Chain A
Amino acid sequence: MRSKSLLALPALLPTLAVAQAATPKPDSGDTAWMLTATMLVLLMTIPGLALFYGGMVRAKNLLSVLMQCFAITALVTVLWVVYGYSVAFDTTGMAAGTTNLHSFVGGFGRAMLAGLAPGSLYNTIPEAVFVMFQMTFAIITPALIVGAIAERMKFSALLVFTGLWFTFVYLPIAHMVWSGPGSFLGDLGVLDFAGGTVVHINAGIAGLVGCLVIGKRRGYPTTPMPPHNLGYTLIGASMLWLGWFGFNAGSAVAANGSAGMAMLVTQIATAAAAIGWTVVEWITHRRPSVLGIASGAVAGLVAITPAAGTCGPGGALVLGLLSGVICFFCATRLKRYFGYDDSLDVFGVHAVAGIVGALLTGPLAAPALGGFGTVTEPGMQLWIQFKGVAFTVVYSAVLSYAIFKGIAVTMGLRVDEEQEQVGLDIALHEERAYNLS
């Protein structure tokens, strides 16, 4: 797991020089896999997530969603290089068991990727590849939030939000979980193999807060707002499924047994969740739906994410089925009951499956329950996982609220009524997705 490892390379060099005269070289197998995994994770956002979301909105807003995902990819890449990687992964001042400012946030020592050279290593892979791999995670997380505020947010406001949220929410949480010894949540013992907490709970909670601050789409829930192209949605879900192997198996940061097992349990949990959602839907709504099976699969992918490095095949089956069933009720019942307009169910799928997965990661890591972790007391680990989830929920909710509210009172979050009526494609981009005739 990546949390063990950001080596202070210069400090190690003398030792290595004594042990073996040659300079350390990257492992070609590990490097080849991580190059591939990085591209798979990028594929999850563009076009995977973009199509998954794009198919669910009305035809007049398709381009706006694609544009949001694509622009976030570009913006976060730039911010990641300038200071993001440093704030997330600079380990200066950190020591195992010590809680200080650097347990919560990294410094600017690696700003502009200072010190990065072709020969820099992170474990057994070039650090450049690690920088890229982690960048793709930073990209997809704010892109996930797009689903909650779809069809009504100003593009300019979204860009400002992305920059602020990436800086004040994503980077600190990523640092607290993944930056190694001395990191706040890492030292608590929270298990998060590939980002259930950092990516999915974080984005899901921000999505819920965002849809509450920005308000419902005009006409919701009385006006029909059916998905305009579920074919896109299924293609997008399929790309997410495929790309997720890079996300989960890539989080081993090596081509090894842990990566192989992560791939296997990812497939198992995803299939189980797709079946879980579909069966419950078939029983309660009398029809199995394309949107349902795709949503179930994504719920399973989210749920297995934190557990992918530690749970066994049996645990993955249970985790998948549970997440599919629970997310079905959250997306179809909970939202209607409370009346919030989380347009594409970022909370109902990502936050909920993220929480189910993050909690169960604890007990399912125990060898007694078929896991491959070092957990000996499932109950105790469940409590540690709960603390990690609770901290992330509160942190993300408070900071996301402040950022959304700040933008709302300064530049405004929403397009005006007429623009919303016409559709964001024409109103904001002066283009339309479909010119048929």
Chain B
Amino acid sequence: MKWINAIIKPFTLDDVREALADVGVQGMTVTEVKGFGRQHGHTELYRGAEYVVDFLPKLKIEIAVTDDQVERAVEAIGNAARTGKIGDGKIFVIDLEQAIRIRTQEVDADAL
């Protein structure tokens, strides 16, 4: 199993959710986050006082998938979240040791 952690532009969320549903991903967690990468921030100017805003709003989506889903899920996120402009985000894939569904005590693939 893998844990996929992706930072995306907020307005691409609907497309990403649909693309993941199409490849069989059953659930996801979404968090509003702020950060910067190569895009850096932007500047704001108030009566001549210039402020550099380093942290831009993004969404972090987290999903757990079985090994055979990983490639398609990563591809789905990548295609749906890509605008071609700087700041599209990143996808991280991490090994996942165990998953448990609390209600039924099912584990691993059955729990996803």
CB-CB under 8 A from B49, the residues of chain A are 221, 225-226, 336
Query: Are B48 and A291 in contact (CB-based, < 8 A)?
Result: no
CB-CB under 8 A from B47, the residues of chain A are 291-292, 295, 331-332, 345
**Bound form: Cα–Cα A291–B49 in Å:** 12
**Bound form: Cα–Cα A285–B49 in Å:** 11
Q: Is A118 among interface residues, defined by CB-CB distance under 8 A? A: no
**Bound form: Cα–Cα A344–B111 in Å:** 57
Q: What are some 5 contacts across the A-B interface (CB < 8 A)?
A: A221-B49, A226-B49, A227-B46, A289-B46, A332-B47
Total count of chain B residues near the partner, CB < 8 A: 8
**Bound form: Cα–Cα A7–B45 in Å:** 53
Query: Are A226 and B51 in contact (CB-based, < 8 A)?
Result: yes
**Bound form: Cα–Cα A221–B47 in Å:** 13
Within 8 A of A (CB), among B9-52: 44-49, 51
Within 8 A of A (CB), among B45-83: 45-49, 51, 53
By beta carbon, the residue of chain B nearest A331 is B47
Query: Are B46 and A285 in contact (CB-based, < 8 A)?
Result: no
By beta carbon, the residue of chain A nearest B49 is A221
By beta carbon, the residue of chain A nearest B51 is A224
**Bound form: Cα–Cα A226–B45 in Å:** 9
Tier of interface size on chain A: 10 to 19
* A interface residues (Cβ-Cβ under 8 A, vs B): 221, 224-227, 285, 287, 289, 291-292, 295, 331-333, 335-336, 345
CB-CB under 8 A from A227, the residues of chain B are 46
Q: Distance in Å from the Cβ of A83 to the closest Cβ of chain B?
A: 38
Extra contacts, 4 of them, besides A221-B49, A224-B51 (Cβ < 8 A), are A292-B47, A295-B47, A332-B48, A345-B47
By beta carbon, the residue of chain A nearest B44 is A226
**Bound form: Cα–Cα A225–B47 in Å:** 12
**Bound form: Cα–Cα A322–B57 in Å:** 40
* Most chain A C-beta atoms within 10 Å of own C-beta, residue among B47, B49, B53: B47
Q: Which 7 A-B residue pairs are closest in the complex by CB-CB distance?
A: A332-B48, A224-B51, A331-B47, A332-B47, A291-B46, A285-B45, A226-B51
Q: Distance in Å from the Cβ of B65 to the closest Cβ of chain A?
A: 32
**Bound form: Cα–Cα A271–B37 in Å:** 43
Query: Are A336 and B45 in contact (CB-based, < 8 A)?
Result: no
By beta carbon, the residue of chain B nearest A295 is B47
By beta carbon, the residue of chain B nearest A332 is B48
**Bound form: Cα–Cα A295–B77 in Å:** 46
By beta carbon, the residue of chain B nearest A291 is B46
**Bound form: Cα–Cα A292–B48 in Å:** 10
**Bound form: Cα–Cα A335–B45 in Å:** 15
Query: Are B44 and A331 in contact (CB-based, < 8 A)?
Result: no
CB-CB under 8 A from A225, the residues of chain B are 49
CB-CB under 8 A from B51, the residues of chain A are 224, 226
Q: Distance in Å from the Cβ of B66 to the closest Cβ of chain A?
A: 36
CB-CB under 8 A from B44, the residues of chain A are 226
Query: Are B48 and A287 in contact (CB-based, < 8 A)?
Result: no
Query: Are B46 and A333 in contact (CB-based, < 8 A)?
Result: no
**Bound form: Cα–Cα A292–B49 in Å:** 12
